[in-house]
Structure 1
Amino acid sequence: MYAIVDIAGKQFKVTQDQFVYAPLMAGEEGASVEFGNVLLIGDGDNVTVGTPGISGAKVAGKILGHVKGDKVIVFKKKRRKGFKKKNGHRQDFTKVQITGITQ
């Protein structure tokens, strides 16, 4: 069984016992979270599509920690002007383990 769920504006295809790196969420390590905006549920040949969401469907998860992504280097340069600028950025994520999908 799998589901497509909207977490903080991003869509993820999740299955039970899967780890997802979602955008930063409020909550402590070990806290349980529930996502109610389920867009699609598939179970073998049976696929239920919401319009836009499936009423009553929920995806439960557990917060495992708050982590940072890989560093992205942003380098800007204008030729013949002597202008160079180098910046780095690391995005914050929340690691969530999916514990269950209910329909």
Structure 2
Amino acid sequence: MYAIVEIAGQQFKVSKDLKVYVNRLASEEGSKISFDKVLLLDDNGNVTLGAPAIEGASVEAKVLQHLKGDKVIIFKKKRRKGYKKRNGHRQYLTQIVIEGITATGAKKATKKAAAEASTEEAPAPKVKKAPKAKKEDTQE
């Protein structure tokens, strides 16, 4: 079973006991958090899609630690001008472990139902046909 969940503005594919690095969260180390914005659930082939999120579904996680990511070097240079600029950045991250995925209240969707839902949302535009030109009888 896996889910696609939105955490801190980014989408992640998560499953049970998976460790994930996300942008810094405002919770303490060792605390448990819940993410309610579940976009997709897959339970052994039974796919449930949200529009945009699945109501009643959530992902439970535990904060392991807060840390900084690897340093990224930004180097700018313009040749023959004597211009060089060096800068660096380290992103603040939070490491979490996924403890469970709950899908209470989630409706099971089939491929046929998903196809019908997608056609209902965006109906095809109707195209008017041009009238046929009349044939004129030409007799000589």
**Shorter-chain TM-score: which interval?**
over 0.9
Structure whose CA Rg is larger: 2
Q: Does 1:20 align with 2:20?
A: yes
Give the TM-score normalised by the residue count of structure 1: 0.98
CA distance in 2 between counterparts of 1:43 and 1:56 reads: 15
Deviation for aligned residue 1:43:
0.8
1:1-103 alignment to 2 at 5 Å?
1-103=1-103
Secondary structure of the structure 2 residue equivalent to 1:99: strand
Q: Distance in 1 between matches of 2:45 and 2:37?
A: 22
1:69-99 Cα deviation digits (max 9, x unpaired): 1111000001111010111111111000000
Amino acid at match of 1:75: F
Deviating runs (4+, > 4 A) in structure 1? Answer: none
Deviation digits for residues 36-72 of structure 1 (CA, Å, limit 9, x no counterpart): 0000000111000000000000000000000111111
The structure whose residues are more often strand, as a share, is: 1
Cα distance in 1 for residues equivalent to 2:33 and 2:55: 18
The letter of the residue matching 2:55 is: S
Equivalent position SS for 2:77: strand
Q: What SS does the corresponding residue of 2:21 show, helix, strand or coil?
A: strand
Partner of residue 116, structure 2: none
Q: Which consecutive residues of structure 2, in runs of 5 or more, have no partner in the other structure?
A: 104-140
Aligned length: 103
**Structure with more of its chain in helix, by fraction:** 2
Q: Percent identity?
A: 60
